[in-house]
């Protein structure tokens, strides 16, 4: 069905590709822009930025979000910062260096041309955000401050206290609300997209359900932009918000959009460990804590003493021991896997033995308590609030948690999926981070896609549609989709089983974390696939969704989302199984050299893009070969 996957990367030297491409893209005359109706789904950084920018250009935009207001989107929770290659610190940063770091950090599994464009527009994002009034941290002279982040050697991260995501989202949201007030964007809140409508071979609209009234409606558009985030909640416990889900992307996948590299998931090493079965989500602690904290576990499996009673000789500072040169500052994936190893050995700490210590005792003795308070106070307070432990008295307990997903719907250089007219932005697409995302790059990508890429590429697509018949909801594809969505809703209510949706989500999460988490192997992945399949069958026949479909019914909303997570979880495991190498966030135990990931560039320097072929049938794997013309692949080593 699907022919060769065309990345549509423009020809020419890397640094000129985007400039040339913008020039050769088709334009829509200002008077014609209002003839085009663009649908944006999702109101995070990518969605709000795209909707605002397209509205400013004069397109008629309809925005849909399931939140009660666009400013709730999960972009708001990002703490650390946003990268921008401004070189304000005069420390050798440049567009080329940000490009280089991102390709390398992605373990050579990203598309070079996309990454270069991302680095190019990173500087425009900072300008735009400042002009909107984003209160970035300043130096005393009034200029913008930067810090280094995530082990990079330059300081290129802009930040607004520990709430950079919040401030950038409020900036994008304010731009969006301005367009709403001008009548260029129609805002639809509490409206969950439940299907993509593909009519005559083009993405032509969406079907949404109003979560308050249960009403299912169809909306036609000349183009559909999905900016619906990542799928980390397939693990149930993650740092994602409770409502974050894969449904919009997954329903598009079921309508023909390819899903790329689902096995690239990022596990963040410094999160607060789960405390019990009731745990509903995990909280991230900024990885800057590793600058001063020492990570250790007891040498003995049967240790019962309090941390401060354990003598030095009976502590294992396992990262310092195994990686003498990087020590506690090894990259996220390495730190995470090593924590898992010691916990699996039975040497974990805490009541459930499911964490490792992050100990500030030495730093406090060396620098004094005030210095440590100054550096980390709000983080340490947040930790105490959640755990009830004072990190100045007892070591913190941390454990890795799912944080970000690099995989997503396949898109070409224009951010358009293989379904014409369907664009995918932000975390929902797969394109820029390869197999591993660097810190402070998620905000950058969401805004790059929304402010500076989509407005050009969507326009170029629309230019060809001028004078053609506009999509409208009387097309049979819309009616068929509305019927399907309505039936699905009724079906969940009619199962009348015995277990809650959350029960199944939690159980699915356990399978995913156990076998498709930080370290994967063939028997484990095969086991996961059979367990997911069995549990999915049980879910569909035994879930209990009470109430009705015409009021706010949170169990009903969740049922559809968890159903999609089951299908995605299955694909994620299969993708992990087929990718017989270790790269970035994907670690196959069979492919390692004494704990170090072994990439296989000869056989796997490609994007795996999966095609839906129907219910109950396995997806078909397509490849987009990756070439590295500028940044040549090398092996990562941190010993």
Partner 1 sequence: MSKHLNLTLKVWRQDGPDAQGRFETYEARGIADDASFLEMLDVVNERLIGENKEPITFESDCREGICGTCSLTINGMPHGKEKGTATCQLHMRKFSDGDHITIEPFRARAFPVIRDLAVDRSALDRIIEAGGFISVNTGAAPEANITPVPKSVADAAMDAAACIGCGACVAACPNSAGQLFTAAKVQHLNLLPQGQAERWKRTEAMVETMEEYFGSCTNHGECHDACPKEISLDFIAYLNRDYIKAKVKNRKLASQS
Residue 49 interacting with partner 1 (CB under 8 A): yes
List CB contacts of 108: < 8 A, sequence separation 6 or more: 434, 583, 599, 601, 605, 626, 628, 631, 633
Span interacting with partner 1, options 127-135, 328-336, 481-489, 562-570, rule CB under 8 A: 127-135
Q: Which helix (H) or strand (E) holds 188?
A: strand 185-188
Instruction: Kindly tell me which residue out of 324, 351, 370, 618 binds partner 1, with binding defined by CB under 8 A.
Output: 351
Task: Check binding of 370 to partner 1 (CB under 8 A).
Answer: no
607 and 626 Cβ atoms separated by less than 8 Å: yes
**Is residue 446 within 8 Å of residue 281, measured between CB atoms?**
no
83 vs 128, beta carbon nearer partner 1: 128
- Roughly what angle, to the nearest 10 degrees, separates helices 247-254 and 554-578? 60
3-state helix, strand, coil in the chain (%, to 5): 40, 15, 40
Q: Does 144 sit near partner 1 (CB under 8 A)? A: yes
Q: Is 493 in the site for partner 1 (CB under 8 A)?
A: no
Beta carbons of 50 and 415 less than 8 angstroms apart: no
- Starting at the edge strand found earlier in the chain, the sheet holding 620-625 runs 408-409, 259-260, 606-611, 620-625
DSSP SS3 for 169: helix
628 contacts partner 1 (rule: CB under 8 A):
no
User: Residue 268: left if φ>0, alpha if ψ -120 to 50, beta else—which one?
Assistant: beta
Q: Does 502 bind partner 1 (CB under 8 A)?
A: yes
Site mask for partner 1 (CB under 8 A), range 246-275, x = bound: -----------------------------x
For partner 1, which stretch binds (CB under 8 A), given 4-12, 17-25, 128-136, 418-426?
128-136
Q: Which is nearer to partner 1, 28 or 284 (CB)?
A: 284
Name which position in 39, 110, 119, 160 contacts partner 1 (CB under 8 A).
160
- Regarding 166 and contact with partner 1 (CB under 8 A), the answer is yes
Greatest Cα pair distance in the chain: 79
| β pairing state of 60-64 and 37-41 | parallel
Residues 550-579 that bind partner 1 (CB under 8 A): 551-552, 554-555
CB of 570 to partner 1, least distance (A): 26
Whats the size of the chain, residue-wise? 639
The interface with partner 1 within residues 529-548 (CB under 8 A) comprises: 544, 546-547
Q: Helix 112-132 and helix 17-24: axis angle, to 10°?
A: 80
CA distances from 325 to 312, 328, 421, 639 (A): 21, 9, 49, 6
List the catalytic residue out of 251, 332, 437, 599: 332
> 332 catalytic, yes or no?
yes
Q: Give whichever of 280 and 635 is closer to partner 1, judged by the CB atom.
A: 280
Contact status: 86 vs partner 1 (CB under 8 A): yes
Smallest gap from Cβ 545 to partner 1, in A, equals: 9
Is 27 a residue that touches partner 1 (CB under 8 A)?
Answer: no
Examine residue 324 and tell whether it contacts partner 1 (CB under 8 A): no
In the bound complex, what is the minimum distance in angstroms from residue 596's beta carbon to partner 1? 33
| Chosen residue from 32, 35, 88, 521 binding partner 1 by CB under 8 A | 88
Within positions 446 to 475, which residues make up the interface with partner 1, using CB under 8 A? 451-452, 455
Phi-psi sector, 207: left (phi>0), alpha (psi -120 to 50), beta? beta
Of 337, 338, 331, nearest to 316 (Cα)? Answer: 338
Candidate list 27, 29, 91, 131; residue touching partner 1; CB under 8 A: 131
Nearer to partner 1, 130 or 535 (CB): 130
Q: Could you please report the per-residue DSSP string of 447-475?
A: HIIIIIIHHHHHHHHHHTTTTSPPP-TTS
Residue 85 or 570: the one with the smaller Cβ distance to partner 1 is 85
Beta carbon nearer to partner 1, 497 or 595: 497
Binding residues among 182-211 for partner 1 as defined by CB under 8 A: 187, 189
Pick the closer one to partner 1 by CB: 346 or 351: 351
| 160 vs 573 by CB, closer to partner 1 | 160
Q: Determine how many CB atoms are found less than 10 A away from the CB of residue 11.
A: 8
- Our CA dihedral for 186, 189, 195, 196, rounded to 10 degrees, sits at 30
DSSP single-letter state for residue 4: P
* Beta carbon of residue 495, minimum distance to partner 1 (angstroms, whole number): 13
Candidates 20, 279, 479, 637: give the one binding partner 1 (CB under 8 A).
Answer: 279
Total of residues contacting partner 1 (CB under 8 A)? 80
User: Closest approach of Cβ 581 to partner 1, in Å?
Assistant: 35
Question: Per CB under 8 A, which region of 121-129, 429-437, 477-485, 515-523 contacts partner 1?
Answer: 121-129
Min CB(470)–partner 1 separation in Å:
26
Taking the mean position of all CA atoms in its chain, how far away is CA 380?
26
Instruction: Read off the tokens for 344.
Output: 């699996």
**Residue of the chain from 90, 304, 325, 385 that contacts partner 1 (CB under 8 A):** 385
User: Could you give the count of Cα atoms lying within 13 Å of 69 in the half-sphere of its Cβ?
Assistant: 9
CB 20 within 8 A of CB 630: no
Residue span 397-436 as binding mask against partner 1, x where in contact by CB under 8 A, dash where not = ----------------------------------------
What are the Cα distances from residue 119, in Å, to 123, 149, 403, 524, 568?
8, 16, 23, 38, 30
Stretch that binds partner 1, among 163-171, 197-205, 306-314, 403-411 (CB under 8 A): 163-171
Map the footprint of partner 1 across residues 223-242, applying CB under 8 A: 241-242
Of residues 439 and 450, the one with the C-beta less far from partner 1: 450
**Cα 366 vs. chain centroid, distance in angstroms?**
38
Residue entry with tokens 């090593």: 338
- Token reading at 468: 């053609």
Task: Give me the active site residues, please.
Answer: 332
């Amino acid at each position: 069905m699907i022919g060769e996957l065309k990345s549509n990367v423009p020809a020419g030297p890397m640094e000129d590709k985007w400039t040339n491409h913008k020039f050769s893209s088709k334009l829509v005359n200002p008077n014609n822009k209002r003839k085009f109706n663009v649908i944006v789904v999702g109101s995070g950084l990518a969605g709000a930025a795209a909707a605002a920018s397209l509205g400013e250009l004069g397109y008629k935009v309809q925005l849909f979000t399931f939140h009660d207001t666009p400013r709730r989107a999960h972009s708001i929770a990002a703490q650390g910062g946003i990268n921008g290659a401004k070189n304000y610190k005069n420390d050798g940063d440049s567009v080329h260096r940000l490009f280089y770091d991102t390709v390398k950090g992605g373990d050579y599994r990203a598309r070079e041309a996309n990454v270069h464009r991302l680095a190019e527009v990173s500087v425009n994002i900072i300008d735009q955000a400042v002009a909107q009034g984003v209160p970035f941290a300043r130096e005393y002279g009034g200029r913008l401050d930067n810090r280094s982040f995530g082990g990079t050697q330059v300081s290129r991260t802009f930040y607004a206290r520990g709430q950079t995501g919040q401030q950038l989202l409020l900036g994008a949201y304010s731009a969006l609300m301005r367009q709403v007030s001008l009548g260029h964007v129609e805002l639809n809140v509490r409206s969950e997209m439940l299907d993509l409508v593909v009519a005559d071979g083009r993405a032509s609209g969406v079907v949404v359900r109003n979560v308050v009234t249960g009403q299912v409606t169809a909306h036609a558009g000349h183009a559909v932009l999905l900016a619906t985030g990542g799928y980390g909640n397939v693990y149930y416990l993650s740092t994602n918000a409770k409502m974050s889900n894969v449904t919009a992307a997954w329903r598009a996948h079921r309508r023909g959009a390819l899903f790329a590299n689902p096995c690239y998931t990022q596990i963040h090493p410094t999160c607060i460990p789960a405390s019990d079965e009731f745990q509903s989500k995990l909280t991230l602690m900024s990885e800057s804590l590793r600058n001063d904290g020492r990570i250790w576990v007891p040498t003995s499996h049967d240790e019962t003493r309090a941390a401060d009673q354990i003598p030095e000789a009976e502590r294992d500072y396992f990262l310092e021991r195994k990686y003498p040169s990087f020590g506690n500052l090894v990259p996220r994936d390495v730190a995470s896997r090593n924590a898992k190893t010691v916990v699996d050995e039975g040497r974990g700490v805490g009541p459930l033995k499911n964490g490792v210590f992050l100990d500030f005792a030495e730093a406090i003795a060396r620098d004094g308590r005030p210095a440590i308070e100054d550096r980390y106070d709000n983080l340490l307070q947040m930790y105490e609030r959640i755990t009830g432990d004072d990190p100045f008295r007892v070591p913190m307990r941390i454990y890795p948690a799912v944080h970000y997903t690099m995989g997503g719907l396949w898109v070409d250089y224009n951010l358009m999926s293989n379904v014409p007219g369907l664009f995918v932005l932000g975390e929902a697409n797969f394109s820029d981070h390869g197999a591993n995302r660097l810190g402070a790059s998620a905000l950058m990508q969401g805004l790059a896609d929304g402010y500076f890429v989509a407005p050009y590429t969507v326009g170029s697509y629309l230019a060809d549609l001028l004078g053609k018949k506009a999509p409208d909801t009387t097309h049979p594809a819309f009616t068929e989709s509305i019927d399907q969505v309505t039936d699905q809703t009724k079906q969940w209510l009619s199962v009348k089983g015995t277990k809650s949706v959350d029960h199944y989500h939690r159980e699915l999460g356990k399978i995913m974390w156990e076998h498709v988490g930080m370290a994967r192997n063939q028997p484990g992945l095969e086991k996961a696939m059979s367990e997911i399949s069995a549990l999915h069958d049980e879910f569909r026949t035994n879930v209990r969704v009470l109430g009705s479909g015409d009021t706010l019914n949170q169990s009903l909303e969740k049922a559809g989302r968890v159903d999609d997570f089951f299908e995605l979880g299955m694909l994620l495991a299969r993708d992990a199984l087929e990718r017989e190498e270790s790269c970035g966030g994907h670690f196959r135990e069979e492919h390692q050299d004494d704990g170090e990931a072994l990439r296989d560039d000869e056989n796997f320097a490609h994007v795996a893009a999966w095609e839906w072929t129907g219910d109950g049938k396995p997806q078909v794997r397509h490849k987009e070969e990756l070439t590295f013309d500028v940044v040549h692949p090398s092996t990562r080593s941190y010993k």
